[in-house]
Amino acid sequence: MSAGMSAGMSTVRRLVGVARPELKRLIAAALLGVLAMACSIGLMATSAWLISRAAEHPPVLYLTVAIVAVRAFGIGRGVLRYAERLVGHDAAFRVLARTRVQAWIDLDRAAPAGLGGTRAGDLLTRVTRDVDAIQDLLVRGLLPIAVSLITGIATVVLLTALLPAAGAVLLIGLVVAGIGAPAASPLLSARAERRFTPVRAQLTTDVHELLTGLADLTAYGATDQRLRQIRHQDGHLTGILRRSAFSTGVGAAVTNAALACTVIGEILVGVPAVRDGRLAGVVLAVLVLTPLAAFELVTPLPTAARHLLRGRQAAERLRALADLPSPSVAWRTTTHQPATAGTSSEKSAPTLSARGLTVRWPGAAAPALTGVDLDLRPGRRVGLIGPSGSGKSTLAAALLGFLTPEAGRITFGGADLSAFDEASYRRQVVLCGQDDHVFDATVRDNLLIGRPDATDDELLAVLDRVRLGAWVRRQPDGLGTTVGERGTRISGGERQRLVLARALLADPAVLVLDEPTAHLDDSTADELIHDIAHATEGRATLLITHRYRDLQAVDEIVALPEENSRTNAGHWRRRPA
């Protein structure tokens, strides 16, 4: 119980912290909403009085003020409603942007090592739909409740001033509709609403995995099985939405029943008051028709209650991102600049070293690497080979600072990684992985990630270094050629060359190549390795591979036995290339 309350309070504090900078805008939106609803109720009340008074055929001058008021209320309602939506959505979009940025910051802090237990589709749901739910919580949840509460009290006071019994009847009707309808909706669909966000996330995950793995699923004839699973999840979600719609209908029925009873109640208390002379006859229409407008206040409350529940669940899932483990290096906030990188001055480039390195992935029972010693000196190419699961990619993650060593030390230019700020270190040590993302954009846009200020001539020069420049020049759009999502419009070899060119464009001091020939046929892999050897001359390079043929152009070979990842008995073996 205490843990749940603590988590709930943490979620509330997070929401308050995100919304606090927009508090003035949210308050302004609430006030504009109150004024808009006041105009709507004033329009109904004034129109009712005007019609009743006009039936008595008074001089037209007696109706002038009411006529002007009707026009003012009619125009004011539309203008104020527009202003309320404009200010409210502006505040909500600002909160939305801040929430999305914070979600990405939380992911960046934990990535990639801390995301091992989280599926890509679920993360996609959190940074899209869950973030959008925070906007709905504000605009469709909190604001309608605040507007209904303030305007409802003012309307009850107005009718009480005309006839105390009429005010009491309206108060009872608004309380029944404003509390009973929103309460009935969650009660009827509480379990379904609790399941809505997780089921939607699971459906998104399944669809994402189907789309990303469609080629493999088709090759193995497993597409129909995954489609059946998605249909099952979609049916489950549809059932939840159906139950939610039913509860919303029940809430609407409660509201309409309360409205009908309120109107009848106003007639029952108003007619005797007119007979007794306690109330003017023309005011009776005001008592009877005003609730029709006042009940517009409670109509959105069942939906608001649902958005509050979904928004709270979404906020809890976003808060869980902040609770993800952070296994990366604790970088400094002040910059520690290493020596100048690049091939132009090998003597000034720093050395990346590992001593007695032991690395464990979060939650793993045993270390993935133990007792590792490695030096990546300027101008030297080191080949690291070992079977799958022996810890090659783990070493790359540690050298990049994604994993904090359990024991041992990693230094760059003689300083621990924690002495650097993350941005400066990332510019000096660059990873070129086997599955580096290629965006559905142009060749130019994909390369500019490595160095945003590069010119087209520099882009073509780096493409020439990886033997991709001639291909780009042959394309009708040149550097503007789109490569498709994950590089689907180009071959596997061209994709890897593009990734390598992007890494070289950053001109790092140390380049870590993690399985660059993975997923390539032997002839394409051999050509790529030859080009890598040419492109990395004079640069500290670590080539991680499981193919001995990839190591022909390195200066030193380090072999990692498979047992090194399972026991402490395995040791690294070095030999000249």
Task: Output the domain CATH number for residue 115.
Answer: 1.20.1560.10
Cα–Cα distance for residue pair 236/225, rounded to 1 Å = 17
Same domain, 205 and 298: yes
Cα–Cα distance for residue pair 5/238, rounded to 1 Å = 31
334 belongs to a structural domain: no
- Residue 364 has phi, psi (to 5 degrees) of -75, 145
Distances (CA, A) of 172 to 149, 175, 288, 380, 568: 14, 5, 15, 83, 75
Q: What kind and span of H or E run contains 502?
A: helix 492-505
340 belongs to a structural domain: no
Domain of 83?
Answer: 2-322
Same domain, 367 and 278: no
Longest CA–CA span in the chain (Å) reads 112
537 belongs to a structural domain: yes
Indicate the pTM of the whole model: 0.66
Same domain, 392 and 301: no
Amino acid at 339: A
Q: Are 543 and 550 in contact (CB under 8 A)?
A: yes
53 belongs to a structural domain: yes
Handedness of CA 164, 166, 168, 170 (dihedral sign): negative
| Residue 419 DSSP symbol | G
Q: Are 54 and 95 in contact (CB under 8 A)?
A: no
Same domain, 310 and 390: no
Distances (CA, A) of 8 to 2, 185, 320, 404, 477: 10, 22, 12, 31, 54
SS3 label, residue 531: helix
Which residues on neighbouring strands pair with residue 355, listed in sequence order?
Answer: 409
Q: Are 291 and 266 in contact (CB under 8 A)?
A: yes
Same domain, 409 and 285: no
Give me the number of domains the chain comprises.
Answer: 2
- Residue 381 has phi, psi (to 5 degrees) of -110, 125
- 426 CB-near residues (< 8 Å, 6+ apart): 400
499 belongs to a structural domain: yes
Q: What kind and span of H or E run contains 396?
A: helix 392-399
193 belongs to a structural domain: yes
Cα–Cα distance for residue pair 57/232, rounded to 1 Å = 68
Q: What kind and span of H or E run contains 359?
A: strand 352-359
31 φψ region: left (φ > 0), alpha (ψ -120 to 50), beta (else): alpha
- How many helices and strands (H and E) does the chain possess? 19, 10
Which of the listed residues 322, 337, 357 is the one where a domain comes to its end? Answer: 322
Same domain, 389 and 251: no
Burial class (CB in 10 A: 0-12, 13-18, 19+), 191: exposed
Tens of pLDDT, residue by residue, the chain (577 residues): 444 445 555 566 667 777 788 888 989 999 999 999 999 999 999 999 999 988 888 888 888 898 999 999 999 999 999 999 999 889 888 888 888 888 777 777 766 665 666 666 667 677 777 788 888 888 888 888 899 999 999 999 999 999 999 999 999 999 988 887 777 666 666 666 667 777 877 888 888 778 878 877 888 888 888 888 888 888 888 888 887 777 777 778 888 899 999 999 999 999 999 998 888 888 899 999 999 999 988 888 877 877 887 777 777 777 777 777 776 777 777 655 554 444 434 445 788 888 888 888 877 788 878 888 888 888 888 888 877 777 788 888 888 888 888 888 888 888 888 888 888 888 888 888 777 788 888 889 988 988 888 898 989 988 888 888 888 889 888 888 888 877 788 887 788 888 888 888 888 888 888 888 777 777 877 877 887 887 778 788 888 887 777 777 788 888 776 554 444 333 444 444 4
